[in-house]
Amino acid sequence: MTGSTWKELGDLKRRSILEAIPAKWRFQHPVAPAEELRDVTGSYIQQFLTPREIEITETDAVGITERTTSGNWTAVEVTEAVCHRAALAHQLVNCLHEVFFDAAIEDARRLDAYFADHKKPIGPLHGLPVSLKDQFHVKGVETTMGYVGWIGTFQGKKVDLKRATFESELVRELRNLGAVLYCKTSVPASLMTGETVNNIISYTWNPKNRLLSSGGSSGGEGALIALRGSPGGFGTDIGGSVRAPSAFNGLFGIRPSVGRMPYEGAANSIDGQNLILSVIGPLATTARSLTLLFKAVLSQQPWYRDPLVLELPWRADIEERTRGLIKQSLNGSSSLAFAIMHHDGIVQPHPPIARAIELVKQTLTQLSHKVIEWKPPSHQLAIDIATRVFNADGGADIAYHLGLSKEPKAPQVIVSGELLQMNAQEIAALNVEKRQYQKLYMDYWNTTAEITGTGRPVDGVICPCAPHAAVMPYQYAHTGYTTFVNLLDYTSVVFPVTHADKNVDVPQPRAEFLSEVDKVIHEQYDPEAYDGAPAGLQLVGRRLEEEKMLTLAEYLGGEVKLMTCHELKQS
Amino acid sequence: MTGSTWKELGDLKRRSILEAIPAKWRFQHPVAPAEELRDVTGSYIQQFLTPREIEITETDAVGITERTTSGNWTAVEVTEAVCHRAALAHQLVNCLHEVFFDAAIEDARRLDAYFADHKKPIGPLHGLPVSLKDQFHVKGVETTMGYVGWIGTFQGKKVDLKRATFESELVRELRNLGAVLYCKTSVPASLMTGETVNNIISYTWNPKNRLLSSGGSSGGEGALIALRGSPGGFGTDIGGSVRAPSAFNGLFGIRPSVGRMPYEGAANSIDGQNLILSVIGPLATTARSLTLLFKAVLSQQPWYRDPLVLELPWRADIEERTRGLIKQSLNGSSSLAFAIMHHDGIVQPHPPIARAIELVKQTLTQLSHKVIEWKPPSHQLAIDIATRVFNADGGADIAYHLGLSKEPKAPQVIVSGELLQMNAQEIAALNVEKRQYQKLYMDYWNTTAEITGTGRPVDGVICPCAPHAAVMPYQYAHTGYTTFVNLLDYTSVVFPVTHADKNVDVPQPRAEFLSEVDKVIHEQYDPEAYDGAPAGLQLVGRRLEEEKMLTLAEYLGGEVKLMTCHELKQS
């Protein structure tokens, strides 16, 4: 391979991914181009599957484990169905980096044998196929993280005993829990962009509208799960990388606070940067599936295996208390209060997102919850701080890994190259700035206790995840809607609300703009191009409020779905 | 004041501290020099107090609050007694930076009025005088943190509205809890040394042996509490700064993990350094007093006020479970296991410390607890990493603050001056090294489950806090015994064990040494000079195990005391 160009190496790897798919599952004819075939979800992909395969793959993770842990479905049958659908998904939108279906089916066979022997499942995820973003090391397969220079190496190192043998801590725990691992999903090289683009798989398209992006950096997860090629998987989020793909693909996804999910032994970008930490979070088709995955991992006590994980088991008392608040609301006397942030003072969202917010607001109001306006400290300051954090090393880490193969950097990457590195004092000062911003925001949140009427500050903030529904390539110009959450280290759950609809979401002429980028993004809106793109929103909670936010997201997601179905019927 | 030298300004401030003490409490004659009068605790200081004052000041924090929250003692009487004793303490060992007894007595009066009106205390610390290391801002008084250049400023800034008006979050919470604030205690300028020395109060001596140090950097706290001029107070610890003063003064002290006590709004050294964080911890005369103070602060929900505090209320279930394990042990079937680290592979402790370890080992064995040898990963590596962390900014922050007055740096400060600053990539790499070390240590801890016989890894590790009892000036050559805990972010509680005894702790000739510093420290041992110096040890637990470690420390501290009293009777 020595002497090969990055292009040749990338092409070779791309072909090898395709070749890892069993011949029987490969398309014989090229798929129609996106211009002719935008939406490959639903009936389109179903045509290649048996009714049984459709039944299995369109069951959520909770539904699958209910059947696999009780012996109603075998792990092998579930795994084969999911592998088949994942194979189709990849051929439609380029969402996989690694395909190891044989190993998965072998694992599933062992799980079935265990169940037959012991009459009980090996763990709460027994027989559940789980997809993984290509940052997690799985024995027998590679981790490229989208870098051509990582092909045939361990994180860029040619000689390393860990290569193809080492497993990340999360992977070890998932195996303990009975999950079946079968693929790794695409990411942008560097991870630092909201689109999934690299010199291996090229671009991961949005299954609902293949003119659009599946989001990033966990874009492969988003696309794969949207096509039901996975019931749920794990991504990572340093600036929105779990949430953008969730919102852009009509999924639920959580960005937990630092210290809950075990990052130990996973590959990362700019590893060791210690001001805004990347965190692991699951993405899935239902909120209850997120809870299943999150809770299952905590049951492994990752705090004894990962020094950065906090000893915080799943707090059932908080879940119960939250369910109590919801129940009270159903009796008409709401004790829940939400804030709505229509825009962040920098960019007004496109019509589909503005409509999504109104939908949620209506839902909340109909449920007689208190709804207030969110008027937080400057989000521009949050962006300024986060941008300096991400660029603190002057792009040196990313430049190094791209340099291994001399491949070019995608223009979408938000980290500049060749900047000056910050020194220790500058980094310390930046960290103090960050803490002061966190304090400011925290104090603002506290003040809402005076107007909610519940005696508490707001229980969550509803806000856009991005100014647009699933984005057009090269047009993700404002990541501030997700990044402020990372800076604050808050919990945020994305939930699906609606889809862009060219007939409803007509462009609104505007004479005044919040900022230059506001004008740019306003002008980017094209109802025809965006038509059909999923539009999700964030439910943002405070730091380490995962139990509360997952419980609220399940409730809200359900209510919003009822509301939108109702509207659909009426129209 | 412009044009004054640092020496003049320091002298002025020193005199102003003394002058803030009411004339009636000032010594009329100079105190005898240390050579003639080593030990100023116990009967020496008692001669200046009434029997009632002695009774009050020799009651621990739990005992005081039992009486003040039930109306048996008034806040004013308690405060006056403690202020009087603190005034004496300062004149004996130079342990105060700020004296505000009048404000304290006024606060105490308000508390008494509240109690009279409401027939109940304002909070769990109602009427309890609490001392504070001079990093916490209290309205009406200065914070110098030992820097001459901070006199008359807010953290070195001449113009700042916060000056003399702002209060740190911990201070706000202590007031809510009903505590009475009356003094701030001495620290070394820079905080980065295990002795308390600065150009204001000069040197804080050890009350048990005034030839020795009270430790640092919370040395003023250590000395003041040792003299019972405070029932308990708050220090900070980035490398041993709570623990060394606790061990050197026969006290209990806890270094909690990052994220439990609110540092928000406190002054700090090298603020923003984000690899090893300084934490707040209480020091007190009894373990149960630590628990009282720790629990009281948590009851204020500091996680809604300090963005770095974790939402972790006092975990009564862990306390209960730990008490259960202790109870089980009392029935003869121990389910507790401890490890003993006799030395860290770098420096053998002096005879008093080695004897203290043996005493604890005997105690544990007699209580039929499992005791194993601690054979951890290299502690030299921990020291190397921590040293690089502390020096990452090349000493720039400390040089800047010393430079404000052009005062010289004490030779004991462990941060070098004028080094090159590390850049972002180097800091990130260092952070990865740190994480890998934490992982290595965690994995080692896990392995002990195989040999404890309890089915769990060891419940705690007993080890020295320093190679020596309370140290001789300029001879604190090895801080590794405390620093490894900060690097690992573990919980450590110091408990008193014994005192250096020239008749028992005779020097042991040695031919072989673990390291150069081992030889240096071995040769420093002088049984005559060290005679009477307190010798405490650490009980080290894992990260965020404060509830467990405080409960175990109370138990162990009590058992060790019984054991040593018994030995004393026999000898």
Per-residue pLDDT of chain A (571 residues; tens, 9 = 90+): 557 999 999 999 999 999 999 999 999 999 999 999 999 999 999 999 999 999 999 999 999 999 999 999 999 999 999 999 999 999 999 999 999 999 999 999 999 999 999 999 999 999 999 999 999 999 999 999 999 999 999 999 999 999 989 999 999 999 999 999 999 999 999 999 999 999 999 999 999 999 999 999 999 999 999 999 999 999 999 999 999 999 999 999 999 999 999 999 999 999 999 999 999 999 999 999 999 999 999 999 999 999 999 999 999 999 999 999 999 887 767 789 999 999 999 999 999 999 999 999 999 999 999 999 999 999 999 999 999 999 999 999 999 999 999 999 999 999 987 789 999 999 999 999 999 999 999 999 999 999 999 999 999 999 999 999 999 999 999 999 999 999 999 999 999 999 999 999 999 999 999 999 999 999 999 999 999 999 999 999 999 999 999 999 999 999 999 988 877 677 6
Residue B310 lies in a domain: no
Distance from CA of B204 to the nearest CA of A (A): 30
pLDDT in tens, B339-358: 999 999 999 999 999 999 99
Exposed e or buried b per residue across B357-396, where buried means at least 16 C-beta atoms within 10 angstroms of its C-beta: bebbbebbeebebbbeebebbebebbbebbbbbbbbbbbb
Tell me: cis bond preceding A405? Omega within 30 of 0 counts: no
What sign does the CA torsion over A361, A367, A373, A379 have?
negative
Distance, in Å, from the CA atom of A371 to the CA atom of B28, rounded to the nearest integer, reads 68
* Claim to verify: residue A367 and residue A231 sit in the same structural domain: no
* Claim to verify: residue B300 and residue B327 sit in the same structural domain: no
* Claim to verify: residue B394 and residue B293 sit in the same structural domain: no
Q: Which of A321-330, B182-191, B383-392, B534-543 has the lowest mean pLDDT?
A: A321-330
Q: Give CA A149 to chain center in angstroms.
A: 25
Beta carbons of A76 and A109 less than 8 angstroms apart: yes
Distance, in Å, from the CA atom of B234 to the CA atom of B262, rounded to the nearest integer, reads 11
* Claim to verify: residue A352 and residue A253 sit in the same structural domain: no
Q: Does A303 touch chain B (CB under 8 A)?
A: yes
- The reply, when asked if residue B213 is annotated as ligand binding, is no
DSSP code of B230?
A: -
pLDDT in tens, B282-334: 999 999 999 999 999 999 999 999 999 999 999 999 999 999 999 988 776 77
pLDDT in tens, B167-183: 999 999 999 999 999 99
The CATH number linked to B154 is: 3.90.1300.10
* Claim to verify: residue A283 and residue A184 sit in the same structural domain: yes
Most A CBs within 10 Å, among B310, B487, B489, B547, to test the A interface: B310
* Claim to verify: residue B285 and residue B347 sit in the same structural domain: no
How many cross-chain Cβ pairs, A to B, lie less than 8 Å apart? 124
pLDDT value for B20: 98
Q: What is the residue range of A406's domain?
A: 324-570
Q: Which strands, in side-by-side order, build the sheet including B252-255?
A: B96-99, B180-185, B129-133, B232-237, B279-284, B252-255, B491-499, B534-541, B460-464, B337-340, B370-373
* Claim to verify: residue B53 and residue B21 sit in the same structural domain: yes
Burial of A330 (0-12, 13-18, 19+ CB in 10 A): exposed
* Claim to verify: residue A23 and residue A161 sit in the same structural domain: yes
Place of tokens 């015994």: B481
Q: Does B455 touch chain A (CB under 8 A)?
A: no
Place of tokens 């980028």: A517
Q: Give CA A263 to chain center in angstroms.
A: 15
- The reply, when asked if residue B241 is annotated as ligand binding, is yes
pLDDT value for B569: 72
Please report residues of A whose CB lies closer than 8 A to that of B432: 271-272
Please report residues of B whose CB lies closer than 8 A to that of A424: 273, 392-394, 396, 421-423, 427
- The reply, when asked if residue A238 is annotated as ligand binding, is yes
pLDDT value for B329: 80
Q: Which of B304, B336, B352 is the last residue of a domain?
A: B304
Residue A318 lies in a domain: no
Number of Cβ within 10 Å of residue B415's Cβ equals 23
Ramachandran angles phi, psi of B494, nearest 5°: -90, 140
Please report residues of B whose CB lies closer than 8 A to that of A429: 272
Residue A317 lies in a domain: no
Q: Which of B304, B333, B355 is the last residue of a domain?
A: B304
Alpha-carbon torsion, ordered A523, A529, A534, A540, to 10 deg: -10
Residue B317 lies in a domain: no
User: How many helices and strands (H and E) does chain B possess?
Assistant: 20, 15
Residue of B nearest to A270 (CA): B428
* Claim to verify: residue A466 and residue A541 sit in the same structural domain: yes
pLDDT value for A2: 59
For the cut 60, the answer to whether the pLDDT of residue B1 exceeds it is no
Enter the pTM of the model: 0.97
Largest CA distance in chain B: 71
* Claim to verify: residue A424 and residue A455 sit in the same structural domain: yes
Residue B159 lies in a domain: yes
For the cut 90, the answer to whether the pLDDT of residue B3 exceeds it is no
Residue of B nearest to A264 (CA): B439
* Claim to verify: residue A482 and residue A376 sit in the same structural domain: yes
Tell me: cis bond preceding B217? Omega within 30 of 0 counts: yes
Number of Cβ within 10 Å of residue B567's Cβ equals 12
Domain count, chain A: 2
Asked if A429 lies within 8 A of B303 by C-beta distance, the reply is: no
Question: DSSP 3-state assignment of B155?
Answer: coil
Q: Give the type of residue at B348.
A: Q
Residue A547 lies in a domain: yes
Comparing CA positions, the residue from B458, B459, B440, B439 lying closest to residue B449 is B458
Q: Which of A273, A304, A335 is the last residue of a domain?
A: A304
Residue B318 lies in a domain: no
Residue A420 lies in a domain: yes
What residues does B474 pair with on adjacent strands?
A: none
* Claim to verify: residue B258 and residue B353 sit in the same structural domain: no
Distance, in Å, from the CA atom of A137 to the CA atom of A168, rounded to the nearest integer, reads 5
Asked if B489 lies within 8 A of A307 by C-beta distance, the reply is: yes
For A248-312, where are the E strands, in sequence order? 252-255, 279-284
Q: Does A273 touch chain B (CB under 8 A)?
A: yes
